[in-house]
Amino acid sequence: MNVLNIVHKPVLLNECLDYLSPVGEIYEKNAFMIDSTLGEGGHSEAFLQKFETLRILGLDADPKIQEKAKIRLECFGRRMSFFRGWFNDFYANFSSDSEKPHLILFDLGISVFHYEESERGFSFRLDEKLDMRLNPDSIISAEELVNTFKEKDLADLFFNYSEERYSRRIAKAIVEARKASKIVSSKVLADVIYDAVPSQYRHGAIHPATKSFQAIRIAVNSETERIEKALKDAFLVLENGGKMGVITFHSGEDRIVKNYFRDLAKKCICPPEVAVCQCGGKPRAELLTRKPVLPSAKEVEENSPSRSAKLRVIRKK
């Protein structure tokens, strides 16, 4: 693998630079940012280039993609540091003695690297071993999930994680196919899904296996569970006056972020059964994006993975 071959283009980059700019009294010339989903380092590189005194800590669970980022960002010296592991674990174990970040960014999308270079079966276009683990140390792989989950559990997974309309048909086809032979490659799985859906569905705007592959990846990496906990823990460690931005790519993710940010901005967070406010009636954060920021038509044209991206940003009070 050519470690200098950058294949992923960061989404909503200019919007992130604008909304998460390290300006204001709390920053001075000592701003500290955590890039919670470093990937190949595209967002971090742009921030470091634009804001010359900014320091960044980049988190990533995948050692291979992190090595690419280290080489890409080594020119920034001590302004860039790295942590290998899941972002939810990092924030859950954040030390009270550690420096609090002024800026936090989450980009919850899957990197093009994983489709093009990881060789772990993320893409239905390639014939690769069915794995889909972002962290190779994780226990369950896509192969194990596809070959051991019950039909109902597979159907629920496809529907709940990716709103796949033919979830039951696809689940049934997978269970029937694995009776004859274990499903071990991404190409075989994609073909099973393709054959399972109605003919008109095979020629839509996206490949018929897109949503199912997305759901399997989310399940294998426990993405939804990690996001909910990580957002809350990240907000706790964020410096007062600091900003947190989250880029999502599907409705389930965006719903989690929208609801949490909305709750942080409420004036009262007491439960409905409490007749008189006991929390002090002070919002914990300010919504800097009341509606999600979407990519421009130009960006979608130039970088198709950005088409479903949404950015939401808050400032901690």
Are residues 211 and 237 both part of a single domain?
no
DSSP assignment string, 91-160: HHT--TTSPPPSEEEEE-SPPHHHHHTS-SS--TTS--BS---SSTT-S--HHHHHHHS-HHHHHHHHHH
Are residues 162 and 234 both part of a single domain?
no
Are residues 204 and 243 both part of a single domain?
no
Domain range for 284 is: 13-114+223-316
Q: Which residues of 174-200 are buried (b: 16+ CB within 10 A; e: fewer)?
A: bbebbeeeebbebebbbebbbebbeee
Q: Looking at the domain assignment, is residue 186 inside a domain?
A: yes
Are residues 148 and 87 both part of a single domain?
no
Are residues 233 and 84 both part of a single domain?
yes
Are residues 180 and 207 both part of a single domain?
yes
Residue 3 has pLDDT above 60, yes or no: no
Q: Tokens 């990580």 appear where?
A: 230
Q: Looking at the domain assignment, is residue 132 inside a domain?
A: no
Question: What CATH number does the domain containing 29 carry?
Answer: 3.40.50.150
Integer angstrom CA distances of residue 221 from 29, 50, 140, 204, 263: 37, 33, 8, 28, 26
Percentage of residues in the chain having pLDDT higher than 70 = 96
What does pLDDT average to over the chain?
Answer: 91
Q: Please give the pLDDT value at position 181.
A: 95
Total count of domains within the chain: 2
**pLDDT tier at 269, thresholds 50, 70, 90:** low
Q: Looking at the domain assignment, is residue 291 inside a domain?
A: yes
Integer angstrom CA distances of residue 309 from 5, 228, 246, 254, 312: 24, 18, 10, 9, 10
Contact 108, 35 (CB under 8 A): no
Distance, in Å, from the CA atom of 272 to the CA atom of 285, rounded to the nearest integer, reads 21
Q: Of 219, 250, 283, which residue is a domain's last?
A: 219
pLDDT digits (tens, 9 = 90+) for 105-127: 999 988 887 888 888 999 888 89
Q: Please give the pLDDT value at position 309.
A: 94
Of 193 and 5, the structure prediction assigns the larger pLDDT to 193
Q: Please give the pLDDT value at position 28.
A: 65
Are residues 153 and 209 both part of a single domain?
yes
First to last CA, the chain: 45
Integer angstrom CA distances of residue 197 from 126, 173, 186, 201, 207: 20, 9, 17, 6, 11
Q: Looking at the domain assignment, is residue 165 inside a domain?
A: yes
Contact 234, 104 (CB under 8 A): yes
Q: Looking at the domain assignment, is residue 5 inside a domain?
A: no
Q: How many CB atoms lie within 10 A of CB 35?
A: 28
Contact 11, 303 (CB under 8 A): yes
Are residues 82 and 228 both part of a single domain?
yes
Residue 293 has pLDDT above 80, yes or no: yes
Residue 6 has pLDDT above 80, yes or no: no
Q: Looking at the domain assignment, is residue 86 inside a domain?
A: yes
Residue 31 has pLDDT above 60, yes or no: yes
Q: Which two tokens stand for residue 203?
A: 């020629």
Distance, in Å, from the CA atom of 314 to the CA atom of 267, rounded to the nearest integer, reads 15
Q: How many CB atoms lie within 10 A of CB 292?
A: 17
Are residues 102 and 234 both part of a single domain?
yes
Chain centroid to Cα 273, Å, comes to 35
Distance, in Å, from the CA atom of 204 to the CA atom of 199, rounded to the nearest integer, reads 10
Q: What is the mean pLDDT of residues 37-51?
A: 95
Q: Looking at the domain assignment, is residue 125 inside a domain?
A: no
Question: What CATH number does the domain containing 161 carry?
Answer: 1.10.150.170
Are residues 229 and 86 both part of a single domain?
yes
Distance, in Å, from the CA atom of 141 to the CA atom of 24, rounded to the nearest integer, reads 45
Q: Of 219, 238, 254, which residue is a domain's last?
A: 219
Q: Looking at the domain assignment, is residue 23 inside a domain?
A: yes
Are residues 98 and 239 both part of a single domain?
yes
Q: How many CB atoms lie within 10 A of CB 169?
A: 17
pLDDT digits (tens, 9 = 90+) for 66-101: 999 999 999 999 999 999 999 999 999 999 889 999
Q: Of 219, 245, 278, which residue is a domain's last?
A: 219
Residue 1 has pLDDT above 50, yes or no: no
Are residues 26 and 104 both part of a single domain?
yes
Q: What is the mean pLDDT of residues 203-217?
A: 91
**pLDDT tier at 30, thresholds 50, 70, 90:** confident
Percentage of residues in the chain having pLDDT higher than 90 = 75
